[in-house]
Amino acid sequence: MTDHNQVTYDVVAPSRTDAPPVPYARITLDAPRRRNALSLALLDELRAALDRAAHDDVRAVVLAASGPAFCSGADLTEALADGMTASARRLADVLRDLLALPKPVVARVHGPVRAGGIGLVAACDVAVSADHITYAFTEARLALAPAVISLAVLPRMSPRAAQRTFLTGAQFTAAEAARWGLVTSSVPAADLDAEVDAVLAGLSAADPQGLAATKELLNADTLARFDAHVDDVVDASARLFASEPARAAMEKLLAR
């Protein structure tokens, strides 16, 4: 396990007959008291963990989280104090790292996900969600837009569903997220680990070279669009977070 404060890293080796038969890396967002908000520190630690996984002798990566929530999105306290320029860029870097990592990444989504956290889920290759949780793109309600995460979300999600959920900011269910392509499957919470293990077992049957080449093929178009537009969406995100309407909305939310 690393010395990081907000992200932990473990290599999980086979320990029982029904476990995935090859080692995998487990990266855990571990700032539960802040609902795993995407602070600059958490994003930096997440990038370091992904880089470690790329070089470790593991077949795949599981992205998980501790506490009641998977991820609440941007760290609004930090955004108000320091602006969003650095964090927007770092979030873009993390999303690209997830898409380009030469090993498949499986999201284990056990709790609610909001805003920027949905970008993490979308950038993973497989996303398994507990069926009782909710998702929401809350940005428009805070005078913002899901600018950076759109580069990962829009290639996954059906256009009509994206329009409805982006514009209204309304919550939607894990079953809807699966139906719209945002997550791979929605299962009862009691079955979440078994479903993740089943995905990992399937990945373990593939050769590492085959996995890397296939993932590169699958994400080539997404990465090309990502690289073409990333500077524009990072700039747009930073401008929106710095605007007076957004600052007022964030201050009101934090004062609750």
216 is catalytic: no
Quick one: tokens of 173?
């269910």
Closest among 57, 167, 139, 41 to 94, alpha carbons compared: 41
Residue 179 three-state SS: helix
* Residue of 139, 195, 244, 251 marked active site: 139
CB 102 within 8 A of CB 61: no
C-alpha 219/C-alpha 15 separation (Å) is 32
Write the Ramachandran bin of 221: left for phi over 0, alpha for psi from -120 to 50, otherwise beta: alpha
- What are φ and ψ of residue 9, in 5° steps? -135, 130
Nearest-angstrom CA–CA distance, 238 and 84: 5
Strand pairing report for 24-29 and 7-12: antiparallel
User: Any idea which residues carry the catalytic annotation?
Assistant: 139
